Amino acid sequence: MEYVNSQFFRSSNMHIEDNRININACRSDDYTMTVESKDGHSFDCFVAKKFDIEPRGVVICLGEIFGLTDYLKDVCRRFANENYLAIAPDLYSRLGVSQFSYADKEMAHQAATQQLDQRLAIDDIEATIKEAEKFGNISLVGFSYGATLGWLACSKNPSVQYFAGYYGNRIALYTEVSPQCPYDLFFGSKDVSLSEERKSIIESCIASSNNHFFDVGHGFDCKDRPEDFDQETSEVAFKLVLFNLDQYL
């Protein structure tokens, strides 16, 4: 597989402008929406919407193992700035927390992989989708562990029109299913958490047209972790997501 930055755009009719995307938080109406899952559990969602604009569709944002962080809220605001209604469910609410600090990586990893019931987390995503459908067509964008949850949710729910997964390395564990919608996966070729085994599975089981490898590490979209953030790659990936949102929503 060829490891690229923007070369994969050549295979589409997409026009990439040279101007840089503003990745900083935009002005938006931020509010909290409460959703009830099918087992009666209620949880909050962070919602961002641009002032006085009818949204073009809905982007549900699923966070990393750190949960509903300020970074994830800023991701929502970025999509709101592009005239989408963006929603981030608090998937850790069943554990009695909303987020972990980046310094507590091991604790966050344990919460995501050992304490959080993955089936219930997907039920909460399903409930968010159901509630959000009243606002427009649905897309999911997931980051790291959230990308894996999004992958699984999209494989079950035909209501999702588009899915984008950022560095969702655990997707390699679930290649027996796939989204029922168009999708893009973004990985870092320098991601030390992406084992050779998982990388091989992803490359062999998922069409190369859906995989986009960049010469960066894990977490390249998170500006709140400067050691991981890569602005150029973040912008390139975001432009492709916006292009496909425009196509499919």
pLDDT tens per residue across span 11-34: 334 443 434 344 444 566 899 999
216/223 Cα distance (integer angstroms)? 14
227 pLDDT higher than 80: yes
Rounded Cα gap, residues 118 and 59, in angstroms: 21
Stronger pLDDT, 158 or 3, i.e. the higher one: 158
Three-class DSSP category at 8: helix
Compute the mean pLDDT over every residue in the chain, rounded to the nearest whole number.
90
Taking residues 230-243, what's their average pLDDT? 97
Q: How is domain 7-248 classified at the architecture level of CATH?
A: 3-Layer(aba) Sandwich (3.40)
Please tell me what DSSP assigns to residue 83. Answer: T
Counting residues of the chain whose pLDDT is more than 90, the rounded percentage is 86
More confident residue, 52 or 155: 155
Residues 6+ apart with CB under 8 A from 150: 62, 125, 140, 141, 142, 163, 165, 168
Q: Which residue has the higher pLDDT, 60 or 4?
A: 60
**Domain locations in the chain as residue ranges:** 7-248
Residue 27 is predicted with a pLDDT of: 60
Higher-confidence position of 51 and 86: 86
Q: What are phi and psi of 234, to 5 degrees?
A: -55, -45
Give the per-residue pLDDT at 29. Answer: 84
216's tokens: 């960066």
Who's near 22: CB < 8 A, 6+ residues apart? 81
pLDDT grade for 4, boundaries at 50, 70 and 90: very low
Burial class of residue 48, CB neighbours in 10 A (0-12, 13-18, 19+): buried
Put simply, whether the predicted model's pTM sits higher than 0.85 gets the answer yes
Cβ–Cβ < 8 Å for 187, 202? yes
- Average pLDDT score over residue span 78-103: 96
User: For 124-179, what is each residue's pLDDT tens digit?
Assistant: 999 999 999 999 999 999 999 999 999 999 999 999 999 999 999 999 999 999 99
Element (H, E) at 160: strand 160-166
Contact 86, 59 (CB under 8 A): yes
pLDDT band at 50 (very low <50, low <70, confident <90, very high): confident
Question: Three-state SS across 11-75?
Answer: HCCCCCCCCCCCCCCCCCEEEEEEEECCCCCEEEEEEEECCCCCCCCEEEEECCCCECCHHHHHH
Distance linking the first and last C-alpha atoms of the chain: 29
Question: Residue 1's pLDDT is what?
Answer: 32
Give pLDDT tens digits for 166-223: 999 999 999 999 999 999 999 999 999 999 999 999 999 999 999 999 999 999 999 9
Round to whole Å and give the CA distance between 156 and 177.
9
Average pLDDT rounded to a whole number, residues 61-89:
97
Please report which confidence band the pLDDT of residue 229 belongs to, taking 50, 70 and 90 as the band edges: very high
